[in-house]
Amino acid sequence: MGSYRTTPTPPPMSLPPATEVLIVGAGPTGLTCALGLSKRGIPFVIIDAVAAGHNESRAVVVHSCTLETLGAIDESLAHTISADGIRSPTLTALDAKQRVLFRVQFDKLADRTKYPYCVLCPQHRVEKHLRQGLGRHEVYWGRRVVSLQEVHGRYEVVFDSGEVVAARYVVGADGNNSTIRTLAGIRLDHPFTKVPLDPISPKDALSFVVADVLFENPLPEALPKDALTLVLSDAGVIIPLPVPAEEGDEAGNPRRRIYFAVADIPPSKPDLHYLQGLLETRQANAPPAGGQPIPRITRVLDSGRFRTGLALAETYICSATSGTAHILLAGDAAHRHGPGGGQGMNLGICDAAALAEAIAEHHSAMACLTDSRKAAAREEIFSRYEQRRMAVAREVIFVAEEMAKVEKPAPGWAGWVRTNLLWLLLKIPAVNQMAAWRLSGMKYV
């Protein structure tokens, strides 16, 4: 994915030689950290390796906890994002006959959040709003971190451009294959067994295909254009998410974003033939008396593949030997998991907001504490950040894994048992409420 080049490449600006906080990565995590620091008046510089204002567009689902978190930084930002996407008050799963299997009701959270829905707003649009929220603070594009070292109680970060920036805090918001994490020597572990994992073993890696497509005819009524709905067939899940129209889209033929988990390694740019094949395989086992079939794909507007596994950084913090400079991880740099439940971008944004708060607290503590108390303050403030966000990451990874199991092919009896068990369980109001509570992330706010 990644044809949404909405921002022209800005003219190169030179990087300042020093700053308090250097944020590496201008994806949703880095941008949110920048917003949190800007609100608190902490000087920072944000950079990204890519040349233009664009990150590969992947995520779509923005949950209530993310809107609450962004709203606490800037209420208008949360409103802008929810107005720019499609608000879905429910997540509905259909069976192969397109009968409602279960419906997770985010609208039942109305007494706990101002945003009792999830918003289907593609990641590139969320990032655009976050960048606009930064106002005069621009991202320095086209700067790839290649190394870093401790010099005079600061980290000096070196870029492929040859520029060097010294910073007291370096935020690693540089995604899945984080250079900052690697340079800091922070290992990735299995989130539950804690067995060291880096690099991802092929055995644990999962492959996914994502594409924005047009269909021949409107989708069946059971798959409305204003709600998050998926179809659980025995041969695997079909997720045709409604997404807002992009510039140049034909009126009356709305795009859908489809996701497929695949067993083999998919082509790097899945084409119409490949995607149609996946769709047909998943519909093949639907009983003839079942609902209306999903029509043929007529155009692929954008497509991509991604591969991920389960992982959690062994720590989110690495401090320089002097104790006066710190590397802090957030977002995909700190954790990896599949896209089940649409959690990754949300987790990164919420990590980043908490990290901005921790850095601001640490920054002001350093200005007023005696040397002997500074080390203790560092321990306490950053450990609190790490413990809290690691615990949330473990829970979110667990939920994403449970969702992935639900979405896996389950032929014959296994499929029948799964379908009926889910139907039964989610009929229990407390279980349904708990599912909404966890998926929306409101459990962790």
- Tell whether residue 315 is a contact of ligand FAD (CB under 6 A): no
Interface with ligand FAD (CB under 6 A), residue from 68, 95, 174, 212: 174
- Tell whether residue 270 is a contact of ligand FAD (CB under 6 A): no
Sequence length of the chain is: 445
- Tell whether residue 122 is a contact of ligand FAD (CB under 6 A): no
Per CB under 6 A, which region of 198-206, 275-283, 337-345, 389-397 contacts ligand FAD? Answer: 337-345
Name the residue among 64, 2, 77 with its Cα closest to residue 32.
Answer: 77
Interface with ligand FAD (CB under 6 A), residue from 98, 179, 315, 440: 179
- The DSSP-derived string for 391-404 is HHHHHHHHHHHHHH
How far, CA to CA in Å, does 296 sit from each of 120, 223, 277, 371, 383?
A: 23, 15, 10, 68, 52
- Tell whether residue 80 is a contact of ligand FAD (CB under 6 A): no
Per CB under 6 A, which region of 11-19, 35-43, 53-61, 317-325 contacts ligand FAD? Answer: 53-61
Tally of helices (H runs) and strands (E runs) in the chain: 10, 20
Interface with ligand FAD (CB under 6 A), residue from 80, 346, 419, 440: 346
- Tell whether residue 345 is a contact of ligand FAD (CB under 6 A): yes
Angle, vertex CA 270, rays to CA 221 and CA 310, nearest 5: 90
Least separation in angstroms between CB 415 and ligand FAD: 24
- Tell whether residue 173 is a contact of ligand FAD (CB under 6 A): yes
Per CB under 6 A, which region of 83-91, 175-183, 366-374, 375-383 contacts ligand FAD? Answer: 175-183
- Tell whether residue 236 is a contact of ligand FAD (CB under 6 A): no
Least separation in angstroms between CB 54 and ligand FAD: 8
- Tell whether residue 175 is a contact of ligand FAD (CB under 6 A): yes
Residues 126-145 that bind ligand FAD (CB under 6 A): 144-145
| Residue (58 or 326) nearer to ligand FAD, CB | 58
- Read off the DSSP letter of residue 169: E
| Residue (234 or 386) nearer to ligand FAD, CB | 386
In the numeric block, the tokens 């407390």 are attached to 430
Least separation in angstroms between CB 334 and ligand FAD: 8
Least separation in angstroms between CB 19 and ligand FAD: 15
- Residues touching ligand FAD, count (CB under 6 A): 36
Residues 365-394 that bind ligand FAD (CB under 6 A): none
- Tell whether residue 25 is a contact of ligand FAD (CB under 6 A): yes
Name the residue among 46, 336, 328 with its Cα closest to residue 175.
Answer: 336
Residue 100: other Cβ atoms inside 10 A: 13
Interface with ligand FAD (CB under 6 A), residue from 172, 266, 348, 415: 348
Which distant-in-sequence residues (6+ apart) come within 8 Å of 249 by Cβ? 255
Least separation in angstroms between CB 363 and ligand FAD: 22
Interface with ligand FAD (CB under 6 A), residue from 48, 68, 234, 386: 48
CA distance linking residue 362 with residue 166, whole number of Å: 18
Least separation in angstroms between CB 143 and ligand FAD: 6
CB 188 within 8 A of CB 198: yes
- Tell whether residue 88 is a contact of ligand FAD (CB under 6 A): no
Interface with ligand FAD (CB under 6 A), residue from 210, 230, 318, 353: 210
Least separation in angstroms between CB 258 and ligand FAD: 11
- Tell whether residue 50 is a contact of ligand FAD (CB under 6 A): yes
Least separation in angstroms between CB 290 and ligand FAD: 27
Binding site for ligand FAD (CB under 6 A): 24-30, 47-50, 55, 58-61, 123, 144-145, 173-176, 179, 208, 210, 306, 331-332, 339, 342-346, 348
